[in-house]
Amino acid sequence: MTTLKPAVFLDRDGTLNIDRSYITAPEHLQLLPGVAAALKQLQGAGFACVVVTNQSAVGRGMMSDADLERVHEELNRQLALDGVALDAIYACTFAPTSNDPLAVEHPERKPAPGLLLRAAAELNLDLAQSWMIGDTLRDILAGQNAGCRGCILVRTGQAVDEREFHRAMPFVMLDDLQAAAHFILKEPRTK
């Protein structure tokens, strides 16, 4: 019998790196301060760290799948400089047609839970013991829709209209990934 591992699912832009709208080239990727240290702490406590990211620039024709792979190689390179390796990166490249950022148009595009569900199945992750961290309500909803234990909205990315919070309550709102890691590590394990 395989033992399931808890995970921290992480949005990419605005959570791990500076959100520059569409990052279409490796040289545009810049990690936010403290990201590597936070990931190191989470992994040291036994959490898998898995990026789940909407990357519609591919679906919009602004970049290719190969370009996206190069951006993720750069993300991994920058993290490796601080001794961190992500457990996996999952990306949905579908381009939405709705103006509602919380509309579900594709099973893997957040706020749908597909990326988290696929990661859990492929990496033997325990969703009920896992957390989702992101900078948008669609990240929070993806975590909730996947059955994560908790979801944390960080203030390092896109501004969130607080009038929309009711669409994703309850969740925790913190300053950055370091604060989120600290919060998670203080929470008692339920199993």
Q: Find out whether 153 and 172 touch, Cβ atoms under 8 Å.
A: yes
Q: Find out whether 77 and 140 touch, Cβ atoms under 8 Å.
A: no
126 has catalytic annotation: no
Residues in the chain: 191
Choose, from 13, 19, 135, 176, the residue flagged as catalytic: 13
Q: Chain-centre distance of CA 84, in angstroms?
A: 16
Cβ atoms within 10 Å of 42's Cβ, excluding its own? 24
| Alpha-carbon distances, residue 78 vs 27, 82, 124, 168, 183 (angstroms) | 11, 7, 26, 32, 25
Distance from C-alpha of 161 to C-alpha of 83, rounded to nearest angstrom: 36
13 has catalytic annotation: yes
Choose, from 11, 19, 139, 176, the residue flagged as catalytic: 11
Residue 13 pairs in a beta bridge with: 17
Residue 34 is classified by DSSP as T
Catalytic residue set: 11, 13
